Amino acid sequence: MKPDEMKELAQLIQKVPGLKGIDFKEVKRLTELLRESPEIGSIELKGLFGTGVVITRAGLQAAVAPAAPQAVPAAAPFAGAPAGGEPPRPAGPGSGLKEIRSPMVGTFYSAPEPGADPYVKVGARISSGQTVCIIEAMKIMNEIEAEFGGVIREVNVEDAQPVEFGQVLFRVDPNG
């Protein structure tokens, strides 16, 4: 994208209600992030009641950031993620279990809000695309979706616990 096109884009974004805090430097930074990080599929800015930022990882899920324009540059947690996502790995030789791993560093949350039921528990049947947890990274709540279906056999992280990139969150029996 040319500098004058980025300026025009910044001016258009300024007109979106709820996103008044975004300036040319932030738009330029987002554009550079998209160019340099093939694992990021798109970045969508919303205004008014849908105010926030939606970051879509190439081949994976969307990450939704509620309402804070200053959260726009916080797309950095995706920079270390493998392009196109890493295929689920078996839990161990002969176990037949697949692993759902953390795609980023952050804080693991088992439920959509404090006091709510967790997305999944041991014994729960999940399907591909179903949200299994949230990982908060730099104040962005990233919904983590299952890439395959099956039955949850292990939950390896406690609620509100920090997680590392690639850490096993769940073990799933795809034949269960």
pLDDT in tens, 64-100: 444 443 333 333 333 333 334 444 454 454 578 999 9
Q: Are residues 112 and 46 in the same domain?
A: no
Q: Which tokens hold the place of 131?
A: 């949200």
Contacts for 105 with CB less than 8 Å, ≥ 6 apart: 77, 80, 137, 162, 163, 164, 165
Higher pLDDT, 15 or 58: 15
Q: Residue 56 is part of which domain span?
A: 3-80
112 and 49 in a common domain: no
**What is the number of structural domains in the chain?**
2
Q: Indicate if 73 and 102 belong to the same structural domain.
A: no
Residues 67 and 102 in one domain: no
What letter does residue 102 receive in the DSSP assignment? -
Q: Is residue 39 part of a domain?
A: yes
pLDDT band with cut points at 50, 70 and 90 for residue 4: confident
Question: Is the distance from CB of 169 to CB of 101 less than 8 angstroms?
Answer: yes
pLDDT digits (tens, 9 = 90+) for 17-64: 555 555 667 767 777 777 777 666 666 665 544 545 566 655 544 444
User: pLDDT digits over 149-174, tens only?
Assistant: 999 999 999 999 999 989 999 999 99
**87 falls within a domain:** no
Supply the CATH number for residue 110's domain: 2.40.50.100
